């Protein structure tokens, strides 16, 4: 274990919980229990098979993707953490079953030091690793100038049947370790854009070292993923409310500490490079028939856990969908005593 991955009390439980959550998300997606699964505690993309690295002990993303590969021929991994998603790239460097696409700061010995645009994969995995190395200070407009065309092209060429999106929040402006200038809205735009393709999606967290901004970013992105408009003002009864001073807003002001080092020409050159490589991917790879291993975990059968003394549990009530042609209670009720004549009963049929 390196200096940045100390052993601490409860480490085993910590790893089990965040990895188990990503794994369960993958299993639920595999069985069509949901369209989008979210695990903000996951996304520890630096961990390697034999090495903990960069605050990451177990690579929950790799484990979740391996689970998804039992049911999906092609999984796309997208990484918008400021650091290169080296652990995930390494795990799938030699295969065409997973395409990894990482957008990250590169250069000046920035951690972990890998992820230049010439790392494209090897053997069967050649052209299935995509790297977008960026310079410090990138803003929303520049980021979207590369993110959207790259992901659009990847979707077109690779045609993934499932996507894992790592949403590291250290790419936000004002991060303690980061040096990008993204706003929560700019970061969230990547989430909305990915969701738009309507492919089964596992969303995980990742880095983020200014906690108040991480909380805002992932709260906002949860709203985007569940199609809910969130109020901009943070509710005053929020725990840790005082941490969100002075603006108490979901969208803190963008603090630009560094000039945007990414010129339009530089970004255009990267996009062109990615296009050229994707053109080498002749068609989306398929998979031969093979034995599918058992699921990595079982989905909890909530029915068994319900309190037998309570008549209708909230989760059961939530599952209940009233058909449009159901009789009403209240104003539209056709069954009121005074209406209960021949005409209303014919209406009912
Ligand atoms: Zn990071």
Check whether 72 is labelled as a binding-site residue: no
194-218 residue pLDDT tens:
999 999 999 999 999 999 999 999 9
Q: Could you tell me whether strands 36-39 and 201-204 are parallel, antiparallel, or unpaired per DSSP bridges?
A: parallel
How many angstroms from the chain centroid is the CA of residue 189?
12
Residue 247 has pLDDT above 80, yes or no: yes
Tell how far the Cα of 192 is from the centroid of ligand 1, in angstroms: 20
Instruction: Tell which wins on pLDDT, 256 or 188.
Output: 188
315-337 residue pLDDT tens:
677 777 766 666 666 555 655 55
Mean pLDDT of the chain: 90
Check whether 236 is labelled as a binding-site residue: no
CB atoms within 10 A of CB 25: 26
* End-to-end CA separation in angstroms for the chain: 71
In the chain the domains, ranked by start, together with CATH numbers, are 11-278 (3.40.800.20), 302-347 (no CATH)
82-131 residue pLDDT tens:
999 999 999 999 999 999 999 999 999 999 999 999 999 999 999 999 99
Residue 236 has pLDDT above 70, yes or no: yes
Query: What is the arrangement of strands in the sheet containing 162-166, beginning at the earlier edge strand?
Result: 36-39, 201-204, 162-166, 75-79, 98-105, 129-134
- Residues whose CB is under 5 A from ligand 1 (ion)? 81, 83, 168, 170, 207
State the catalytic residue, choosing from 31, 45, 46, 122. 46
Tell how far the Cα of 81 is from the centroid of ligand 1, in angstroms: 5
Active site residue 187: no
> Using an 8 Å Cβ cutoff, are 278 and 153 in contact?
yes
Check whether 247 is labelled as a binding-site residue: no
Residue 303 has pLDDT above 90, yes or no: no
Tell how far the Cα of 105 is from the centroid of ligand 1, in angstroms: 10
**Closest Cα to residue 217, out of 266, 192, 250, 193?**
250
User: Which residue do the tokens 């963008």 mark?
Assistant: 254
Tell how far the Cα of 205 is from the centroid of ligand 1, in angstroms: 10
Tell how far the Cα of 217 is from the centroid of ligand 1, in angstroms: 14
Q: What would the two tokens of residue 147 be?
A: 């993110």
| pLDDT above 90 coverage of the chain, percent | 76
Q: How confident is the model at residue 301 (pLDDT cuts 50, 70, 90)?
A: low
Can you give the pLDDT at residue 3? 79
Check whether 229 is labelled as a binding-site residue: no
For the chain, strand residue ranges (E) read: 36-39, 75-79, 98-105, 129-134, 162-166, 201-204
35-48 residue pLDDT tens:
999 999 999 999 99
Q: What percentage of the chain's residues is helix, strand, coil (to nearest 5)?
A: 35, 10, 55
Check whether 83 is labelled as a binding-site residue: yes
Check whether 4 is labelled as a binding-site residue: yes
Q: Give this prediction's pTM.
A: 0.85
Tell how far the Cα of 44 is from the centroid of ligand 1, in angstroms: 9
User: Which residue do the tokens 């000039």 mark?
Assistant: 259
The arithmetic mean of pLDDT across residues 130-137, rounded, is 98
């Amino acid at each position: 274990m390196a200096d940045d991955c100390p052993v601490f009390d409860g480490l085993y439980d910590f790893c089990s919980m965040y990895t188990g959550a990503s794994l369960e998300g993958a299993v639920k997606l595999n069985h069509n229990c949901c369209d989008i699964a979210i695990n903000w505690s996951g996304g520890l993309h630096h961990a390697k098979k034999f090495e903990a690295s960069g605050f990451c002990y177990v690579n929950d993303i790799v484990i979740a993707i391996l689970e998804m590969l039992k049911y999906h021929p092609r999984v796309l991994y997208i990484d918008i953490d400021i650091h290169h998603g080296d652990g995930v790239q390494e795990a799938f460097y030699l295969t065409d079953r997973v395409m990894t696409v990482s957008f990250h700061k590169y250069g000046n010995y920035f951690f972990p030091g890998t992820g230049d645009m010439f790392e494209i994969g090897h053997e069967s995995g050649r052209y299935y690793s995509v790297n977008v190395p960026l310079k410090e200070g990138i803003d929303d407009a520049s980021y979207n100038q590369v993110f959207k065309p790259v992901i659009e092209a990847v979707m077109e060429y690779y045609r993934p049947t499932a996507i894992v999106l790592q949403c590291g929040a250290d790419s936000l402006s004002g991060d303690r370790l980061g040096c990008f200038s993204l706003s929560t809205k700019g970061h969230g735009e990547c989430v909305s854009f990915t969701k738009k393709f309507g492919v089964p999606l596992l969303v995980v967290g990742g880095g983020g070292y200014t906690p108040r901004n991480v909380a805002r970013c992932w709260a906002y992105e949860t709203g985007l993923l569940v199609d809910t408009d969130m109020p901009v003002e943070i509710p005053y009864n929020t725990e840790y409310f005082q941490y969100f001073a002075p603006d108490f807003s979901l969208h803190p002001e963008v603090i630009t500490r560094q000039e945007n080092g990414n010129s339009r020409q530089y970004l255009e050159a990267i996009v062109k490079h990615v296009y050229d490589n994707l053109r080498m991917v002749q068609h989306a790879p398929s998979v031969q028939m093979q034995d599918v291993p058992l699921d990595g975990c079982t989905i909890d059968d909530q029915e068994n856990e319900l309190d037998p003394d309570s008549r209708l549990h909230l989760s059961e009530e939530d599952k209940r969908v009233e058909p449009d042609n159901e009789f009403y209670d209240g104003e539209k009720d056709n069954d009121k005593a005074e209406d209960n004549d021949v005409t209303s009963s014919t209406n009912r049929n």
